[in-house]
Amino acid sequence: DKPASRNFIQQIIDADIAAGKHQAADIHTRFPPEPNGYLHIGHAKSICLNAGLAREYGGKFNLRFDDTNPVKEEQEYVDAIMDDVRWLGGDWEDRLRHASDYFDTLYDWAVALIKAGKAFVCDLNAEQMREHRGTLTEPGKESPYRSRTVEENLDLFAQMKAGKFKDGEKTLRAKIDMASSNINLRDPVMYRIKHAHHQRTGDKWCIYPSYDYTHGQSDALEGITHSICTLEFENHRPLYDWCLDQLNELGLLPEGRPRQIEFARLNLTYTVMSKRKLLQLVTEKHVSGWDDPRMPTIRGLRRRGYTSQAIRAFCERIGVAKFNSTIDMLWLEDALREHLNEVALRRMAVLRPLKVVLVDEGGKPLTGDIKTCSIANHPQDPAQGEREVTLGPVLYIEQEDFMEDAPKKFFRLKPGGPVRLRGAAIIVCQEVVKDAAGEVTELRCTFNPDTSAKIDDKKVKGTIHWVDAATAVDAPVRVYDHLFGVENPDKAEEGKTFLDNLNPNSLETLTAKCEPALAEAAAGDTFQFERVGYFFADPIDSKPGQPVFNRTVTLRDTWGK
């Protein structure tokens, strides 16, 4: 490979292999979502990274649900997460795991830590514990329960498990160092009491392990070699290692120790990524649901018409860094355009129609079919074939493709001027018809049947798309824009919230005039509407013969203008 382009995680793994610590085939990663919400584009980065490393080294990739908080977790999320990970190309094969698979082992290990004098049962409530914790500059205070005997702790922990106490009455804490400069090492909580039904373990447990006590041990049990997480866990790494060290000393861990590596989480412009904020957008109905095409969720991106190839290419392109930054949304959209440009069939649709009536030299409307045109389905891919499109005497063009008082450089349609109709012929605007209010309602254009679009007539610089009126099909089209109107919606002015940064024009619904071939669009089909953008037949609202289109993304430039 090209060593120069290896990212810092690949370099760590390469070095581990070179040092004989692991064989390439033993490289083992995992993606550990908590099933408390839907996945978003940030998670996609973690999935692509972890699954990609396993693929690259010929190692293994686990999907592990970090299901330690039954109060917030639901089966609905579990199902959606599995579907999204698979869609993104994360293949866990038969390695679907759950932190809850390890509840018995984690409990036994907690008992062992109590016996070794490394954990104690504490009666401080959450608020008292906060007071004892200290600050970055001040050491914490030891809990008065820290000196309980091993016997007492074993007895109380067993009673916690047996349901003798109410929620919050007691915790099990690691006995580390209340004076540590790292607050995470100030006797962190290992278990809390929660009388809650768990979607997998039912009512077996009323105590649940904390993230910090669960994660590293789950990694060790699964044989994970490189446990990759986001930067906010950097301060947790000493605790991750402390737990593994203690259990190792007690001879409890399987061989081969996992190593935590942190990378910068993905932030994108014009969106928010926190689960809490995404949930608020849904519950307060600022969007239609988790799968609203404006949402940065994988569900939303899928419904918008994103392809998994595009998302993977994006994740690859932005790479992995050790410092947080915000990526411009344009990168994501560009990756999408690149992929759709390759695969999307071309069609013609007019979003804001302006009627054009073809007339003869004397101004008399033409009748009957004028011409049948064969138009390529994909100009760069002849294998996609051609389709026949009829041109009748009345057609629609885009309102913005006509300008009455046009500047010299305007190469679309203007009074007295010619324009090329894509794949059909050249027309010349002879007359502009207006209503009482002065609005242009119709154009009358002459058409030269001998002028084929294939003739290279250099004088006609503009080419516009069109739709034949007689055979046009009406379809609802949802034109999406950024959900937020500012680059960094998390940054709200004083007294305001991120909701004040919502873009009021993020959705516009139009009725487009579409060429007849689009009526056959199946739910989930993607097209390039020539000169307009990429459009996706909504998988939920489209009915046979009646597609509903979502604008996935605009074209890079204004082709033909």
Annotated binding site for L-glutamine, which residues?
A: 66, 211
Which of these ranges, 40-48, 82-90, 163-171, 343-351, lies near ligand ATP under the rule CB under 6 A? Answer: 40-48
Q: Are the C-beta atoms of residues 261 and 12 closer than 8 Å to each other?
A: yes
The residue number whose beta carbon is nearest to ligand ATP equals 42
> Does 390 participate in binding ligand ATP (rule CB under 6 A)?
no
Q: Which residues pair with 61 in a beta bridge?
A: 29
Q: Which residues pair with 512 in a beta bridge?
A: 475
Token pair in block for residue 126 = 């959450």
Q: Which partner in Mg ion, ligand ATP, none is near 42 (CB below 5 to 8 A by kind)?
A: ligand ATP
Residues 6+ apart with CB under 8 A from 289: 282
Q: How far is the CB of 230 from ligand ATP (least distance, A)?
A: 4
Count CB neighbours of 460 within 10 A. Answer: 18
Residue where the block lists tokens 């090492």? 185
Give backbone dihedrals phi and psi of 330, rounded to 5 degrees, phi first: -55, -30
Q: Which partner in ligand ATP, Mg ion, none is near 43 (CB below 5 to 8 A by kind)?
A: ligand ATP
Task: Give CA–CA dist 356/422, Å, rounded.
Answer: 15
> Given the complex with Mg ion, which of 34 and 155 has the nearer CB atom?
34
**Among the listed residues 502, 460, 499, the one whose alpha carbon sits nearest the alpha carbon of residue 481:** 502
> Does 36 participate in binding ligand ATP (rule CB under 6 A)?
yes
Query: How many residues line the site for ligand ATP (CB under 6 A)?
Result: 14
Instruction: By CB under 5 A, name the binding residues for Mg ion.
Output: 34
Which of these ranges, 37-45, 156-164, 363-371, 482-490, lies near ligand ATP under the rule CB under 6 A? Answer: 37-45
> Given the complex with Mg ion, which of 216 and 533 has the nearer CB atom?
216
Beta strand pairing call for 60-65 and 28-31: parallel
Helices (H), 179-287: 211-222, 237-249, 275-283
> Given the complex with ligand ATP, which of 69 and 153 has the nearer CB atom?
69
Which of these ranges, 34-42, 120-128, 376-384, 521-529, lies near ligand ATP under the rule CB under 6 A? Answer: 34-42
> Does 46 participate in binding ligand ATP (rule CB under 6 A)?
yes
> Given the complex with ligand ATP, which of 275 and 302 has the nearer CB atom?
275
Task: Give CA–CA dist 68/102, Å, rounded.
Answer: 10
Task: Give CA–CA dist 132/145, Å, rounded.
Answer: 12
**Among the listed residues 17, 101, 27, the one whose alpha carbon sits nearest the alpha carbon of residue 61:** 27
> Does 417 participate in binding ligand ATP (rule CB under 6 A)?
no
Q: How far is the CB of 74 from ligand ATP (least distance, A)?
A: 13
Q: How far is the CB of 34 from Mg ion (least distance, A)?
A: 4
Which of these ranges, 31-39, 181-189, 338-346, 501-509, lies near ligand ATP under the rule CB under 6 A? Answer: 31-39
Binding mask 321-360 for ligand ATP (x = CB under 6 A): ----------------------------------------
* Coil, strand or helix at 485: coil
Q: How far is the CB of 247 from ligand ATP (least distance, A)?
A: 22
Which amino acids are annotated as binding site for ATP, given as ranges?
Answer: 34-36, 40-46, 230, 265-266, 273-275
**Among the listed residues 201, 205, 195, 207, the one whose alpha carbon sits nearest the alpha carbon of residue 171:** 207
**Among the listed residues 227, 170, 223, the one whose alpha carbon sits nearest the alpha carbon of residue 195:** 170
Which of these ranges, 28-36, 150-158, 186-194, 201-209, lies near ligand ATP under the rule CB under 6 A? Answer: 28-36
Q: Are the C-beta atoms of residues 416 and 408 closer than 8 Å to each other?
A: no
> Does 375 participate in binding ligand ATP (rule CB under 6 A)?
no
> Given the complex with ligand ATP, which of 308 and 528 has the nearer CB atom?
308
End-to-end CA distance of the chain: 44
Q: How far is the CB of 42 from ligand ATP (least distance, A)?
A: 2
- Whole-number Cα distances in Å, 120 to 116, 128, 172, 187, 189: 10, 16, 6, 9, 10
- Provide the angle, in degrees to the nearest 10, between the axes of the packed helices 308-318 and 329-343: 140
DSSP state of 162: T
Give the active site residues.
Answer: 34, 265, 275
> Given the complex with ligand ATP, which of 123 and 490 has the nearer CB atom?
490
Which one of 22, 28, 45, 346 is in contact with ligand ATP (CB under 6 A)?
A: 45
Interface residues toward ligand ATP, by CB under 6 A: 32-34, 36, 42-43, 45-46, 229-230, 265-266, 273, 275
